[in-house]
Amino acid sequence: MTLVPVVGQAGWMLENSKSGPLALGRLRDLGVRLVEGYRLDRATRTQAALLRRYDDEPLVLAADRVVLAAPHAPVDGLVAGLRALGVEVHAVGDARAPRLVEDAVHDGYRVGAAV
């Protein structure tokens, strides 16, 4: 198995905790290959074609499957539709911007307390 982080380095959100090194160590112990500094260009039934971030140098990896876990996009269609109807809307969570669950909970609390 090979892990290609799509944003930054693997485990970057955990780098200031004890969990990051532990998680990366467990991946290593399981035989997971880490390929950093690349982005996915295309995938076929048998391979994943990557491009190095700083110069687009290609790297092709054999792959029997590719799982893409990428940054989220806001899900705000309902917000826009309601506002177009003149409804007062307070967007929270991924309707406001894609972030962590903790951010969405804080949004909900903040908006709920203000209404």
pLDDT at 110 over 80: yes
Angle at 51 between CA 49 and CA 56, to 5 degrees: 145
pLDDT value at position 97? 82
pLDDT one-digit tens code per residue, 14-51: 666 777 778 888 888 999 888 888 888 999 889 999 99
Give one DSSP letter per residue of 59-100, joined into a string.
EEEE-S------------HHHHHHHHTT------GGGT----
pLDDT at 83 over 70: yes
What distance in Å separates the CA atoms of residue 44 and residue 39, rounded to the nearest whole number?
A: 15
pLDDT at 11 over 70: no
Amino acid at 99: R
pLDDT value at position 34? 85
Q: Where are the domains of the chain?
A: 2-62, 77-114
pLDDT at 86 over 90: yes
pTM over 0.85: no
